[in-house]
Structure formats: C-alpha cells, structure tokens
Structure 1
C-alpha cells in the first residue's frame, strides 16, 4: 500500500499524541525533524517512502554533522526517523530494518550549567518589586527554583493545581504523567502575592484558569518565560545567558549538594529513569573542598 509523506506524517503525529501521550511540544519536535528529513529526500530526488533506504538516512545524518549540529540534536532526529519508520512498518508493512541500524552519536560529557547560591541570591534581589509585572516575574523565578519543574510544566499550571494550605503543586509532566511537588516558604509567599494582587490586574478582561499570564492577560507561553528570565538577568551584574532548564539544573544541584538522595531528586524532577538524574551528581568546587576538609583524617 502506497501512502504519501504528508498523510503518513499526519497519521504518525496522531499516533504519538493519542496512543503514546506525547506532549504538544514533543509532537512538534518530531514533526519538524521529519519534515526536515523529507526536505532532504526531495533534494536527493526520492519522492516516495518506499524508495527510502539506509543510505539516505546515513547521508542525512552526515549532513547534520557537516552543519555542526549538537550531538543531542542529531540523536533526537535519529530517534524521530526510527520511530516514524517503525510506525510505518507496523501500519503499512514498510521495511524499517535499515533504520534500526542507525547509531546514536556519543553524548557530549558536558556538565549541566547551574547558578551558584551567591549568583541566585543576586538574581532574586535584583528582581524584587511592587508592580504586578515584577510580582509575576518573582513568582515565576521562585516557583521554578523551588520545584525544578520544566518550563512546559510551568506554563500548563492551572489555578486549581496549587494547594496553598499544604504548599503542594500538581504537575502534569512528560507523557501526561502526574506528580505532586512541594514548594517552600519563599515560593509560597511570592506565589500568593502574585495570585491575589498581580494576576487580577494583569488578567484585564480575560477569562481562563492558567496560573501565569502575559501582559495582555493571556496564558504565558514557553517563549514568554524565556524572555522574562533573560530580562531578569539583565537587571543583575551576571554575564551569563539564562534558560529555564538552567533553573532546573540549579534546583537539582543544590538539593544533592545539601545531602538529598538521588531517588528523591528523581521523583521531584519527574524523571522516568534514574540515569537521567545521575547527570546532576556533580558537585560544586566549594562543596567538594568542604567535604574533603571535614572528612579526610589528614586534611
């Protein structure tokens, strides 16, 4: 049975959304990866999916290396192609054996970037304020650091997901997996101030239950969060570029440095595998030195 690239892609996206419970962001990433692969096939004058062979996939990967794409990006695109052709094999009996032979590049052994406690203190202090906008931004920063949630999880929070009496946040993670994450006093105060004083003003005439909103009262997007965080850094003497996952890295690093066990951090981060959490087992130089000085008999 012959099927067009467009129709196959649409059926695949429907499959990963409905049956695999992939988020909208993940589905969009798969779609972009596969559309990029289709564009490459067009350049190679391959017009049908039945014509695609292992050599085409290898040439595509080679092109990605030539474009100096990050290894993680290349690995994700390989996964997208493999999953797509596995789906075609299941649904349309298209041979996918060649694509299972594609190997992933070795991961770069870079440690996650994070803030030291002094840097984070500067960030908090520089962004205190009394306007609705400032109260919203501080609440976002406090909640990200207090919980380590992903930016996609932050923007999907509804008012009903926040339990102020227990200081617990209901989070819908990857694969529509639900978890509950506690937050501390600083986040509690900043969040309550935002909800009672700032959000009603920012909402204007909008009617929805999204916790965080933009200056027009509409639900805040992931792009909006990235912009807000970068504007917050500009108010400090820090020279780093901030991104939402950097706060997540900081959350995990600080917990582990203070003695939290790996399984607890895994649960808080919503990682399906412990190996995903182990990347955070690096420690700061100060923590390493202090532990050594306190523990070694001849230090």
Structure 2
C-alpha cells in the first residue's frame, strides 16, 4: 500500500447502509416521542400545581396551622390536630422502621450466607414486599394489632406500625444498595489491619454509606407522610377536633383530613381543602430537600 492511498482512504467516512439509516430514524422518532410524553406529563403536573396554589393560597394562614377542623366555621378552621397526628405517627414510624431496616440490611449484606435457604427466603420476601399495595399492610395491622391478639385499638401506635411495615422493605433495599456502593478496598483494608467485621461495618462502611441511607430513609418517610389507605383501616378516619396527646389516643393525619374536607359539600370547604393539600406538598418538599442536603453534605466528607 502506497503512502498516497492512505489519505484517500482516511478521508472516506463510514458509509450509511439502509439498515443503519432505518435504525437512526427509529431512534430519532423514539426520542421525540419520549420528550413529547415528558412534556405532556409536565404540563399536567404544572396545571395541577397551579390549581392548588391559586385555589388554596388564600387559606394558607395562621388559622390553618393553629385551629382545629370545624364544620360550623370553615372560614377559620385549620388542621392543627392532623399536623400533630402526622408528626406523631411518622416520628414513631421512623423509630420503628429505621433501626430495624438498617440492622436487617447490614445482616443480609455483610453477615448472611446467601447459600442458606433461610437467607434466600428473607431476601425474596423483602423484594416482594416492596411492591405490595399499601392497603395490604393496613389489613394486616387491622387483623393482628388493632384487633386480637394485640388488641391495641384504633390508636396512633397502630398507625405507626402500619406505616413502619410499609416502608421497612424500602429502607432495607436502600441501605443494602448504599453498602454495596462502598468500594471493596475499604472493607479489605480495614480487615487487613486487624479490625473485626463489626468494627469494619460500624467505623468504615456505615459512615461511607450514610448519604445513600439518609436519602433512602427520608424518601421512605416522605411516602409514609402521604399515605392514607393503610391508616383509614386502622382508625384515622374520624373527624378529630382535638390534638392527640399520646400513642394510645385517637388521631388523624393530613391525607385523611384532606379526604374528610373533600367530602364536605359546602363551597367554603373548597379553599380549605386546597390549602391543606398545599401544606402537605410543602411538608413533602421540605423532607425531600432535607434528603438532598444530607446526601450532599456527607458525600463531600467521603
């Protein structure tokens, strides 16, 4: 091959065969369809958000945060019992689900023998429970916690147990993925200098996995804040006009209170309902923002 032939061949670009042209055209059409679907979904979401803000901003005031629900004077009614009930139920949910979920994830990822049928059965059930409808957990708690054998009744603790069961698989899966994301060299280096497996997990793996664990846990709690179906079955359906004073008192939460407002036929309840929805959206955005801040803060450390 002469030197004069090389530039001529190098200048000749790859030829587009008919099959490749068809594939490129199909890819372009597919990308355009995806962007069109995304645009339609974004427009619908924007319309819903604008409707909520415009209809509820007039009632987003101090009365909404400090007053109890009322069917007599809806213009000054609020959702204070629902706010306290939501904080109480979700707080206890976090105390139940997060330690159990993180501990279970550590066991499955670092200690469990994947060859044993018992551990394989646990992993299979955890993955399946993450996709179970939330109403199933409500039925389970209604049968075994609200009624016999525990017979706690329709109290705040029953609602916390239902939400803890709901988010427990999510916490386990998020924690396991965070532990897997830690480089293998950190494990090997810690064990090589004489640390025990527990010391490696506690002092090396968990601190490095905190961003993912915190993000997954807060997003799971955000899901719990917006859940209504399991709580309706375990006693959060009543129109509560008093602030719950403990885990064994009657309660209501924000989603259920919004549902009760929406059932009212009087026109004065419309802005109150939208204002409660807007307040719930603000709470969820605050939780998600906290997850992002924690992830970024701990990610910079490691």
Regarding TM over 0.5, the answer is no
Larger Rg: 2
Q: TM-score range by the shorter chain?
A: under 0.3
- What TM-score, normalized to structure 2? 0.23
Structure with greater proportional helix content: 2
- What TM-score, normalized to structure 1? 0.23
* Larger RCO: 1 or 2 (CA < 8 Å, sep 6+): 2
